[in-house]
Structure 1
Amino acid sequence: MSDQQWTAFEVSISDFIAEVTLIGPGKGNAMGPDFWRELPEICAALDRDDDVRAIVLTGSGDHFSFGLDLPAMAGDIGKVLAEGAKARPRTEFHDMVRRMQGAISAVADCRKPVVAAISGWCIGGGVDLISAADIRYASADAKFSVREIRVAMVADVGSFARLPQILSDGHLRELAFTGKDIDAERAARIGLVNDMFPDREATLAAARATAVEIAANPPLVVQGVKAVLDHSRRPAVDDSLRYVAAWNSAFLPSDDLTEAISAIFEKRPPQFRGA
């Protein structure tokens, strides 16, 4: 596993701990086609590996992830935005969303506990990803944003399925309706992260230390604890994911989404009209 070459990740294993690091290739570890293809393969391999008892998930460089690599994924999204898009492009879009959901769910469904170490920006898809982790630590410079609403999208690959079990309803709705950025201090205060540390190195060290503590316990019992904790919430998560995939396949195409994508490429504020 450690010897295998990945495009969007680096994976290392030592002393029963796997460290999975986002490495791009997009700026800010943005999530392009390679990310969505490789993540479930990595999670499945680590799940099968008896030499792995816990996983540390982090990002390379200054940031955890800028979220969806919109330029790299624009072609797939563009099919459903085409004027008069009918059943086939909408079905293909639905299938793509379900595959992307499956990539994030692979993190949540892995039997080995996942500890996320977050520094810098964690935006959109980055929040989807950390919501699938079991434990989340942040550095003092971390910033979080459920930003999909600002690009005329409903977040559809995990945040709205899993954050209701992490945040209070009011805090989640505030983040989801505004798309605002919050810092690590507030993220810790509202429960989005377990704890905050001075910098990236200290955050990663804390994540590794917790992973070591987990790995010292009986591995099958740890997996049993995770299975029991996940049992009651999994049906609600699955139902939410199915519903939002269908909702976006029907309602995502809009003038506002076209305007949002154009504004990103033209580096200007979008002008939404509710159409």
Structure 2
Amino acid sequence: MNENPTAWKSVTVERTGHVAQVTLIGPGKGNAMGPDFWAELPQVFEELDADREVRAIVLTGSGKNFSYGLDLAGIAGDLAPVLADKAQAAPRTDFHDMIKRMQRATTAVAECRKPVVAAISGWCIGGGVDLIASADIRYASADAKFSIREVKVAIVADMGSLARLPGIIGAGHLRELALTGKDIDAARAEKIGLVGDVYEDQAAVLAAAHQVAAEIAANAPLVVQGVKSVLEHSRAAAVADALRYVAAWNAAFLPSEDLGEAMAAVFQKREPEFKGR
């Protein structure tokens, strides 16, 4: 593979023929999604979208896991003003703008004209699920585990899972996962349609993703882009509306004692005690 000359901090980009591979390399273990990820991913996919030599994209994670999701430690400083007692309009407006900027990362994947095939191994939590929901095709290794875990840390998932997954796994399954924050394994993910197929291990799922990406890349590129455009058009307006709504909702209601308690519990490695305040 030939490495992309751009030195990204949150991902690597490599290309073989007409297939590009984007690999998450976030800070620390588990490819957590820190500030660099949210800033860089829109640029990465805009460049891939504009590159005529790229016809399909494989999206995966480095190491054993796809992603642990949002890097709470990385954004703690941005949340501090809005968590302050009696936070006024200015910090809430800044928080709203931050959510909308972060949403561009997953939206860039969904709107990229080149089909995206996600190869998922290990943990795929929170923001990781938001990200794969933006992909066109999803495959998993047998060790993969998934969780829309935001509810466990007093957050309404706002990066795309609640907007895009109804059309992928159905409203009933989504409500179960989003309201409980439970973990599911690869077999359950395949059963509910979150992933299309499950493979023996990480190497096998990555190989399968590349095979399918190569099959896509062998087709007429403008027609492939047209197919994706038509399919995306049918849900784009509803997704955009849902993302606007959750950004406004979270700016108004997410700052809470429960969120502060959840963050403290994460850093102190204990179970949070929520009080609904």
1:266 to 253, 265, 268: 268
- Identical amino acids, percent of aligned pairs: 67
Structure 2: how far apart are the matches of 1:6 and 1:23? 9
TM-score normalized by the length of structure 1 = 0.99
SS of the residue 2:96 aligns to: helix
1:246 to 242, 245, 248: 248
Structure 2: how far apart are the matches of 1:125 and 1:139? 19
Report how far residue 103 of structure 1 moved: 1.0
1:39 matched to which residue of 2? 41
RMSD: 0.7
1:6 matched to which residue of 2? 8
1:154 matched to which residue of 2? 156
- Structure 2: any 5+ residue segments left out of the alignment? none
2:209 matched to which residue of 1? 207
- Structure 1: any 5+ residue segments left out of the alignment? none
Report how far residue 77 of structure 1 moved: 1.5
Matches within 5 A, 1:135-146: 135-146=137-148
Residue identity in the other structure for 1:94: H
Report how far residue 255 of structure 1 moved: 1.1
Q: Which moved more, 1:174-183 or 1:21-30?
A: 21-30
Structure 2: how far apart are the matches of 1:14 and 1:62? 23
Residue identity in the other structure for 2:31: N
Residue identity in the other structure for 1:88: A
**Contact 1:115 1:134 survives alignment (8 Å):** yes
Q: How many residues align?
A: 275
SS of the residue 2:165 aligns to: helix
Deviations 1:180-210 (A, max 9, x none): 0000000000000111000000000000000
Segments of 4+ moved more than 4 angstroms: none
**Contact 1:118 1:138 survives alignment (8 Å):** yes
1:62 matched to which residue of 2? 64
Residue identity in the other structure for 1:126: G
Structure 2: how far apart are the matches of 1:51 and 1:168? 35
1:233 matched to which residue of 2? 235
Structure 2: how far apart are the matches of 1:185 and 1:119? 13
Report how far residue 26 of structure 1 moved: 2.8
2:132 to 127, 130, 133: 130
1:103 matched to which residue of 2? 105
**Contact 1:58 1:64 survives alignment (8 Å):** yes
1:179 to 169, 174, 181: 181
SS of the residue 1:166 aligns to: helix
1:114 matched to which residue of 2? 116
2:21 matched to which residue of 1? 19
Structure 1: how far apart are the matches of 2:187 and 2:276? 34
1:30 matched to which residue of 2? 32
1:73 matched to which residue of 2? 75
Structure 2: how far apart are the matches of 1:25 and 1:191? 30
1:48 matched to which residue of 2? 50
SS of the residue 2:124 aligns to: strand
Report how far residue 265 of structure 1 moved: 0.8
Structure 2: how far apart are the matches of 1:52 and 1:91? 38
SS of the residue 1:189 aligns to: helix
Report how far residue 27 of structure 1 moved: 1.7
Report how far residue 25 of structure 1 moved: 2.1
TM-score normalized by the length of structure 2 = 0.98
Q: Which moved more, 1:17-26 or 1:212-221?
A: 17-26
SS of the residue 1:36 aligns to: helix
Residue identity in the other structure for 1:10: T
SS of the residue 2:15 aligns to: strand
Report how far residue 168 of structure 1 moved: 1.6
Report how far residue 4 of structure 1 moved: 1.5
Report how far residue 218 of structure 1 moved: 0.2
2:92 to 83, 90, 112: 90
**Contact 1:116 1:130 survives alignment (8 Å):** yes
SS of the residue 1:232 aligns to: helix
SS of the residue 2:276 aligns to: coil
2:257 matched to which residue of 1? 255
